[in-house]
Chains A and B, each alone.
Chain A
């Protein structure tokens, strides 16, 4: 099946540091999505990428859609305590029906003040 391998599994950083996490797949994806999940909440969409090579920013967040369409990364600059949470990459299952997503394993981010 289409699996997304996300790394690292967890990160412990100091406030103000930059963070980078990535997602790879053995299959080609036409869309890459990055979500953040806070405890007790559903995932919130951070960035959506639709074209190979696309680089998109959302405030301190920047994500890129890899040229091979098999990878994506998410960077967070100048981290703050509220960046704490679980970050997931996701892509559409099967490449056909939209909205059916497969998710990476998640990256747990801890930010020390």
Chain B
């Protein structure tokens, strides 16, 4: 499995601002994904980060709120825009080398005041 790192590991932000989260993989991977884990909850897929094209969003998530970049096969960013306290969550990126097996980064814990 690839090694995945995320920056920042945690942040506290004011409502109305935005936070950009970086995800770096130590090898080239075809597919990268972004998940959200709300407090005490399970993981929910936000979108698939596609290299060289727009991200594919799951139901309930939109590009204006969660813009995603994937400039190459090892890197992706997720921005959480116009923050509100309801956006306080852990945001995780993941990658899959084959089939359905997914490996996750350590997560970014966001608190919105």
How many A-B contacts at CB < 8 Å in the complex? 70
Complex contact A102–B92 (CB within 8 A): no
Which of B13-21, B63-71, B73-81, B100-108 participates in binding chain A? B100-108
Complex contact A31–B48 (CB within 8 A): no
Complex contact A98–B42 (CB within 8 A): no
**Which of A41, A101, A104 meets B102, CB within 8 Å?**
A101
**Which of A43, A45, A50, A91 meets B43, CB within 8 Å?**
A43
* Nearest CB of chain B from residue A22's CB, rounded to whole Å: 15
A105 and B42 contact, Cβ closer than 8 Å, known pairs A31-B100, A42-B92, A98-B96: yes
**B residues within 8 Å of A by Cβ?**
1, 4, 31, 33, 41-45, 48, 58, 92, 94-96, 98-107, 109
Q: List 17 A-B contacts (CB under 8 A).
A: A31-B101, A33-B101, A42-B94, A43-B43, A43-B104, A45-B101, A45-B102, A45-B103, A90-B43, A91-B100, A92-B100, A99-B95, A99-B100, A101-B33, A101-B43, A101-B100, A105-B41
